Amino acid sequence: MRHHDAIQSKCRSRTFRTGLAGLTLTLTLTFGLATGVRAQNDKMTPIPVPAQPTAIVLDTGTLPGPTSPESWHRQYNSVFARNVTVATLTPFLPDPAKATGAAVIVAPGGGFRTLSMENEGWDVARALADKGVAAFVLKYRLNPTPADMPGFERSMAEMFSATAQRPRPDPQAALAGLAPQIADSRAAFALVRKKAAEWRVDPDRIGMVGFSAGAMLTLATTLAGEDAKPAFIGLIYGPLTAVATPADAPPMFVALAADDPFFANSGSGLIDSWRAARRPVEFHLYEQGGHGFGMYQKTTTSTGWFDAYIRWIGMHGLLKPKS
């Protein structure tokens, strides 16, 4: 069984309040090595930073404070970025003959320390574009890690071992800690709307899908992203903590495996929150799949999440142009 394809956390919770009707979101940042059966190709191997000729630099600036240069590595036959200090957005546009006008901003996961750029980013975006949905991979800014791979691995091991209870952070301080990522998300929505005509996108039909930490960012964007306002959202193996749901909350698709080592045993309060607010929600709880299945082809039914997501998008009329 393959768990998260990136470095994940053992667990640290951040709770923040938006100040808007006292909305509260608990963000469990997953750092450290995922437990369970290891894949034979789980070794992290540094690789050169790949060329990204279509990536567009967002206007959120450079991550403040000292940090190491952006670096990439290969693991699980996939590629990951870390020490991202400048956010970018990479378009994956469908054939104009197939374009539906719908668009999705894709937020990879990785505990806000790394980004699963391939399995939870590019591969997702290509699959969406193949269905006629414009997709945009958000490479958001990350918390810094040591530049060298041994130092990076040691820092993750230290986080993994530091499981003692920590004081709950001040809500506003915790929100400020996620501010760069929310700013990146907002800038991504603003850019897609600005170039909507060029990219054949309906500015009122831009959604967001995220994985693990990217799912947390997707929900944070929905609740505290101000002008971003995703039209529909997908949360793939993210936490399901209850929130105060806005009256205009967008339709939400959720997928999680029952054997997820991080989020499967915390209830389904988020689903209950959406239902209590009478907002559309679809929830898939797969028997097996672990954490981080993404676009990997596995023998578990979790592999079917993307097909279910596409059917859900279609049910909401997003697989054909708006009449």
Q: Who wins on pLDDT, 267 or 158?
A: 267
φ and ψ at 319, to 5 degrees?
Answer: -100, 10
pLDDT tens, 93-115? 999 999 999 999 999 999 899 99
Residue 203 in this model has a pLDDT that exceeds 80: yes
Extract the runs of DSSP E, i.e. beta strands, from 140-224.
206-211
CA of 140: how far to CAs of 57, 82, 109, 259, 271, in Å?
10, 10, 10, 28, 26
Task: Answer positive or negative: Cα dihedral of 35, 138, 27, 303.
Answer: negative
Section 142-168 average pLDDT? 72
pLDDT tens, 11-64? 333 333 433 333 333 333 333 333 333 344 688 899 999 999 999 999 999 988
Q: What is the DSSP letter of 121?
A: I
Q: What is the pLDDT of residue 65?
A: 83
Q: How confident is the model at residue 141 (pLDDT cuts 50, 70, 90)?
A: very high
Numbers of helices and strands, H then E, in the chain? 7, 14
Residue 73 in this model has a pLDDT that exceeds 50: yes
Q: How buried is residue 43: exposed, middle or buried, by Cβ count under 10 Å (0-12/13-18/19+)?
A: exposed
Section 72-82 average pLDDT? 93
Q: How confident is the model at residue 260 (pLDDT cuts 50, 70, 90)?
A: very high
Task: Answer positive or negative: Cα dihedral of 196, 206, 121, 319.
Answer: negative
Q: What is the pLDDT of residue 176?
A: 60
Q: What is the pLDDT of residue 18?
A: 36
Section 296-301 average pLDDT? 90
Amino acid symbol at 76: Y
